[in-house]
Amino acid sequence: MTYSIDFRKKVLKVKQEEHLTIAAVAKRFQIAIASVVRWSKVLEAKGTRNRPTKIDMEALKQDVALYPDAYHYERATRY
């Protein structure tokens, strides 16, 4: 789950204004300590994964239509 930039800014603002430790602010907002540390370094989230899948989805649909009871390993051998 990716937290919004607004939420990240709010967490860091509360940390700075109230002079809280990383552990204290993480506990207050019920988030991981590692998240607060990471946000302190880089506020923006990493890009989402937009890579194409390795499987041709149309071919997979056809395979499911032809072999509806096939196991995954059987489908994998056909590819």
Amino acid letter, 9: K
The confidence score (pLDDT) of residue 50 equals 65
Does residue 63 sit within a domain? Answer: yes
Q: Using a cut of 0.85, tell me whether the model's pTM lies above it.
A: no
The confidence score (pLDDT) of residue 19 equals 96
37, 12: one domain: yes
- By CB neighbour count within 10 A (0-12 exposed, 13-18 middle, 19+ buried), where does 8 fall? buried
Domain count, the chain: 2
The confidence score (pLDDT) of residue 78 equals 83
Residue ranges making up the domain that contains 25: 5-41
Does residue 47 sit within a domain? Answer: no
pLDDT one-digit tens code per residue, 14-68: 999 999 999 999 999 999 999 999 999 988 777 666 666 677 889 899 999 999 9
Does residue 31 sit within a domain? Answer: yes
Please count the residues of the chain.
Answer: 79
Longest Cα–Cα distance in the chain: 63
35, 58: one domain: no
Angle at which helix 22-29 crosses helix 33-41, to 10 degrees, equals 120
The confidence score (pLDDT) of residue 37 equals 94
